[in-house]
Amino acid sequence: MKKIKYLILGAGPSGLTLAHSLVDAGCPLDQILVVEKEAVSGGLCRSEMVDGAPLDIGGGHFLDLKRKEVLDFVFRFMPREEWDLYDRVSKIRIRDVEVDHPLEANLWQLPTEVQADYLESIAQAGCIRGEEMPESFAAWINWKLGDRIAQEYMLPYNRKIWSMDPDALGTYWLYKLPNVSFRETLLSCLEGKPMGALPAHGTFLYPKKFGYGEVWRRMGEALGDSLVSNCTVETIDLGTRTVNGRWQAETIVSSIPWTLWPGYCPIPEDVKAAISCLKNAPIDVDYHQETLDSRAHWTYEPDESVPHHRLLLRSNFSTGARGYWTEANASRSTPAQGPRFHNEFAYPINTLGKPEAVEKILTWAKANGVIGLGRWGRWEHMNSDVAVAEALQMANQLKTGS
């Protein structure tokens, strides 16, 4: 039995960042252990070589530039000169036309008649007419964006990506959607130019010679013997905080999905009930050899007769690569025609009641010396830069005991 201070479950961006930043905060490396079920660290951000070039097996991943502390940390493992900077080109297919994303800022690119349809529906949106905000997801989307954007894009796209009745989703996360102003949309159509700001990843970094996974692989390698790969968590003794009967820790930090925990240790009924409220969407990533004739880095596909919801043109962001890959909710995938990568835990779903369930689980965990971290520890739809930022912050809190 090895005794250590911190046992971190999962070597995705969250677990890796926490391990390194605990060392930065003065904790000896031999007092930290990261346990990872896969052979290679990086979690959803891993890449593999497919058809002569890297492919991001957890779906398309790009590094956002907005957080300086994250870039400083990431560049320690893959210096800035190993990354290329791109201005995002993302498209959405609507009525068989490809327009720039986000749709509401680029309606001017559609045929005039179609623009008129959209403008009419935005003018009649509930929020513009001062109607009360509805509580169900589908009604909320109609209220906020007008029924055209709702029916032709937002609702079908959400049905595809989650494979779930949109009304099982909460509305608490929709504050992220931009406001659509009728006046600004009209001006944009009349002047033939986009309005508003680009969403996340307006510009982004992608490795010059590797896939997105390389930086996390290096981060794992730099942990030496403090990373145990090919090791699945199977049992947790909460009384002694012992994992797999091999390692005993003062604090366990879990970045693995809570829904796996009932298989590891006894859990009180009310916490088990909260865990059963957590839902995740699995995705299949499928590689296709053909190089498409488009400038886009990726394209959103709301058409429900097509299985995938997003298509990634790696030939446009990975040096010397050909081909593209698609991302589809696994329940919508058709039989694979080429290399396929299945990700059971891809998206945490923002279902009704999720915030309360997560709070209950984290409170119980904390009382047992366990802290939830990252996408699955917090059940939050966070990007890797946010995962890194939160892990950096957690290391500071652990250091100061707050």
Interface residue list for ligand FAD (CB under 6 A): 9-15, 35-38, 43-45, 58-62, 64, 232-233, 255-256, 260, 283, 327, 345-347, 374-376, 382-385, 387
Nearest distance from C-beta of residue 109 to ligand FAD, angstroms: 24
CB 341 to ligand FAD: min, Å: 11
- Tokens of residue 83, six digits: 């990354």
What single DSSP character describes residue 88?
-
Strand ranges (E), 226-332: 227-228, 236-237, 242-243, 247-254, 280-288, 298-300, 310-312, 324-329
Nearest to ligand FAD of 8, 141 (CB atom):
8
For residues 229 and 220, the answer to whether their CB atoms sit within 8 Å is yes
Of the chain, the end-to-end C-alpha distance in Å amounts to 29
**Closer of 371 and 387 to ligand FAD (Cβ):** 387
Looking at beta carbons only, is 56 or 147 nearer to ligand FAD?
56
Q: Cβ(220)–Cβ(11) under 8 Å? A: yes
Question: In whole angstroms, how close is the CB of 220 to ligand FAD at the nearest point?
Answer: 9
CA atoms within 13 A on the CB side of 398: 29
Q: Which is nearer to ligand FAD, 77 or 118 (CB)?
A: 77
Q: Which long-range contacts (CB under 8 A, 24 or more apart) does 21-27 make?
A: 21/73, 21/391, 21/392, 21/395, 21/396, 22/395, 22/398, 22/399, 24/395, 25/395, 25/396, 25/398, 25/399, 26/399, 27/399
State which residue, 5 or 67, has the beta carbon closest to ligand FAD: 67
Q: Tokens 């100061």, residue? A: 400
Residue 217 CB, nearest distance to ligand FAD (Å)? 11
CB of 228 to ligand FAD, least distance (A): 9
Minimum CB–partner distance for residue 71 and ligand FAD (Å): 12
Of 86 and 182, CB closest to ligand FAD = 86
| 2-9 vs 247-254, strand pairing mode | parallel
Query: What span, in angstroms and rounded, lies between the C-alpha atoms of 135 and 124?
Result: 19
Helix (DSSP H) and strand (DSSP E) numbers for the chain: 12, 19
Distances (CA, A) of 28 to 6, 25, 274: 10, 9, 36
Q: Please, are residues 296 and 90 in contact by the beta-carbon 8 Å criterion?
A: yes
* Min dist. Cβ of residue 381 to ligand FAD (A): 8
Nearer to ligand FAD, 148 or 309 (CB): 309
Smallest distance from ligand FAD to CB 326, Å: 11
Q: Which is nearer to ligand FAD, 166 or 220 (CB)?
A: 220
